[in-house]
């Protein structure tokens, strides 16, 4: 079953829960209010009850920024290696 992120408007809690596919609404485990499925920004671990651990927003902005920075750095390195390994016309001269 997929892991979905839900938000309860009654108590303003955001949490993750494993639910059958297509479950758009569920009961909040804290206040028993109606919780709606929201677009999940990141997948993160959950405890055995399915509630999230860590920040209530569902993701860590600094972790996301660090991951993005790492990906950009890796891409820049690959592009630099690719451009330096290209053969130039002068490489084929018979000098």
81-88 mean pLDDT: 66
For residues 80 and 56, what is the distance between their CA atoms, to the nearest angstrom? 40
Residue 36 has pLDDT above 80, yes or no: yes
Position 41 in a domain: yes
* DSSP codes of every residue in 45-57: -B-TTS-B-S-TT
Any domain includes 95: no
pLDDT tens-digit readout, 50-65? 444 444 555 676 667 7
42 occurs within a structural domain: yes
Q: In this predicted structure, what is the pLDDT of residue 85?
A: 62
pTM for the full predicted model: 0.42
On whether residue 92 sits in a domain, the answer given is no
Closest by Cα among 16, 10, 64, 54 to 38: 16
Give the domain range for residue 57. Answer: 3-84
pLDDT at position 73: 78
Whether 31 maps to a domain, the answer reads yes
The per-residue pLDDT for 8 is: 93
> Would 93 be classed as within a structural domain?
no
In a domain, 66, yes or no: yes
The token duo for 56 is 């209530």
What Cα–Cα distance (Å) separates residue 29 from each residue in 17, 41, 72, 84? 10, 21, 39, 56
Question: What's the pLDDT at 13?
Answer: 92
């Amino acid at each position: 079953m997929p892991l979905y992120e839900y938000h309860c408007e009654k108590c303003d809690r955001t949490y993750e829960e494993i639910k059958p596919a297509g479950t758009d609404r569920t009961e909040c485990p804290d206040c028993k209010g109606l919780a709606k499925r929201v677009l999940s920004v990141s997948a993160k671990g959950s405890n055995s009850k399915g509630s999230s651990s860590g920040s209530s927003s569902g993701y860590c902005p600094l972790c996301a920024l660090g991951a993005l920075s790492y990906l950009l750095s890796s891409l820049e390195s690959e592009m630099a290696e690719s451009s330096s390994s290209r053969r130039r016309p002068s490489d084929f001269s018979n000098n």
